[in-house]
């Protein structure tokens, strides 16, 4: 067992992000593990550029309100508790809502012999500000145990 040193929080750079984004590396697996886990905090209006992950990515929203879009698809509103999977090589972006912070866990794997992710153009304001599709929240009676 190993309690790992806490890495300093890093600022997302302008090549990959628009607005203020802060990243904490939680897991960077050593071979044979290839797992990667970051906590990513987006300020209101902040988002990453268009990108694709070689072996896909799962994000899990832990706080706030955000947006995600796959290339060719609609902008979709995401909120705390949502888990979003993007398949290998699907171009997409994710970020905060214009008026809310959003924090998510990002979980992905590094392939053996190619870059983890491919990065493209920034998400323009016109793309980012498209009216998002609001998702219905499922409701049901809370189940009690005992």
Residue ranges in contact with Mn ion by CB under 5 A: 57
Q: Which residue is nearest to Mn ion (CB)?
A: 57
Choice between 57 and 103, CB closer to Mn ion = 57
> Closest distance between Mn ion and the C-beta of residue 84, in Å?
9
Residues 6+ apart with CB under 8 A from 12: 20, 21, 22, 23, 40, 46, 48
> Closest distance between Mn ion and the C-beta of residue 92, in Å?
6
> Closest distance between Mn ion and the C-beta of residue 94, in Å?
6
Choice between 18 and 57, CB closer to Mn ion = 57
Give residue 54's region: left, alpha or beta (phi > 0; psi -120 to 50). Answer: alpha
Give CA torsion, residues 137, 65, 87, 107, to 10 deg: -120
Choice between 55 and 80, CB closer to Mn ion = 55
Choice between 40 and 97, CB closer to Mn ion = 40
- Per the omega criterion (within 30 degrees of 0), is the bond before 32 cis? yes
């Amino acid at each position: 067992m190993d309690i790992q040193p806490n890495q300093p929080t890093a600022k997302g750079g302008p090549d990959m992000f628009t607005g203020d984004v802060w990243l904490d590396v939680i897991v960077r697996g050593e071979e044979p593990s290839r797992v990667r886990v970051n906590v990513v905090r987006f300020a209101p209006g902040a988002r990453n550029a268009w990108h694709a992950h070689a072996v896909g990515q799962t994000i899990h929203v832990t706080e706030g309100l955000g947006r995600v879009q796959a290339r060719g698809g609609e902008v979709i509103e995401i909120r705390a508790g949502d888990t979003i999977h993007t398949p290998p090589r699907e171009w997409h972006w994710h970020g905060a809502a214009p008026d809310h912070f959003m924090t998510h866990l990002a979980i992905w794997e590094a392939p053996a012999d190619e870059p983890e992710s491919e990065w493209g153009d920034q998400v323009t304001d016109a793309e980012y500000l498209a009216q998002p599709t609001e998702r219905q929240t499922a409701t049901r009676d809370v189940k009690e145990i005992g």
